[in-house]
A = this chain, B = another copy of it.
């Protein structure tokens, strides 16, 4: 029993053509090939499928019976192939996104309505999670990550720069003083983000010199919003991405410190599991996001000055 299954489309072609020769022509092969495939199929089935002379080709009873199944099988397979290939190029289906909590709330969710209006055949499932999840096990189509990617099996595309700034409320700074160097932070209540990717230390650059400072404080949390809230209330000081705090810097509710020190460059990435066969829904989503985010619009001061 070598290759019964692959002979089925050939058998069906012969049935529909009514002759080996015509079927061969349609299949783009020679009649001898068709003849041999049918013969071998008959051998494997142990039944003759056609009564045949040089001029007549008639299905046997077994052939008649078998052809019903065979035609159906081929037809369904072709439908499947069509379904699988036709959806190529069309942005449709369910787009399962995994993205960080606060970023999603501030800069992803606000754009999603426009995206969904733009692509009515796409349905979005957004999972907001700051933890790095298993994209494959979770069957995520695309993930938004900030910082560096660890998973080398994933493909990443940079969407925007992610600038950070150390900042605090004017009230806090008035009370605790304004740090002039990173080392001064050891006397401050540094709020700490427990999922911080870069490690336990805060890194600073000045004239290509690297400075590492271990933040100390009385509040550790796994949610950036909570940190932001605490900053506004004047609990302490923290290194924050501009996409979260820029609006408060603009209004003066928070003020930047250590402005003459650089923080490490981070980026906002979109990642997806495969390089080959990227579904169109993923492509259009990433294109859309890149278009929306590449200007880093949140850093533009629209209105009051800091």
The chain A residues found within 8 Å of chain B, CB to CB, are: 3-6, 8-9, 42-43, 45-49, 51-53, 56, 58, 60-62, 65-66, 68-70, 72-74, 76-77, 79-81, 83-85, 87-88, 93-94, 134-137, 139, 153, 273-274, 276-277, 279
Interchain CB contact under 8 A, B66 and A84: yes
Interchain CB contact under 8 A, B137 and A277: no
Interchain CB contact under 8 A, B136 and A42: no
Residues of chain B contacted by A8 (CB below 8 angstroms) = 5, 77, 80
Interchain CB contact under 8 A, B52 and A136: yes
- A4, A80, A277 interface centre (most CB from chain B within 10 Å): A80
User: How far is B56's CA from A136's CA once the two chains are assembled, in angstroms?
Assistant: 7
- Given A136-B58, A274-B51: A80 in contact with B85 (beta carbons within 8 A): no
- Given A5-B9, A42-B277, A84-B45: A136 in contact with B51 (beta carbons within 8 A): yes
Which residue of B70, B83, B153 is within 8 Å of A80 (Cβ)?
Answer: B70
Q: Taking CB as reference atom, which chain B residue is nearest A76? A: B73
User: How far is B53's CA from A135's CA once the two chains are assembled, in angstroms?
Assistant: 10
A40 to chain B, nearest CB (A): 12
Q: Taking CB as reference atom, which chain B residue is nearest A7? A: B6
Which residue of B6, B46, B53, B94 is within 8 Å of A277 (Cβ)?
Answer: B46
Which residue of B5, B46, B69 is within 8 Å of A5 (Cβ)?
Answer: B5
Known contacts A6-B6, A46-B84, A51-B273; 5 further A-B pairs (Cβ under 8 A)? A47-B279, A53-B136, A58-B136, A69-B80, A69-B81
User: How far is B70's CA from A56's CA once the two chains are assembled, in angstroms?
Assistant: 34
Interchain CB contact under 8 A, B45 and A85: yes
Interchain CB contact under 8 A, B47 and A134: no
Residues of chain B contacted by A70 (CB below 8 angstroms) = 77, 80
Residues of chain B contacted by A87 (CB below 8 angstroms) = 47, 62, 65
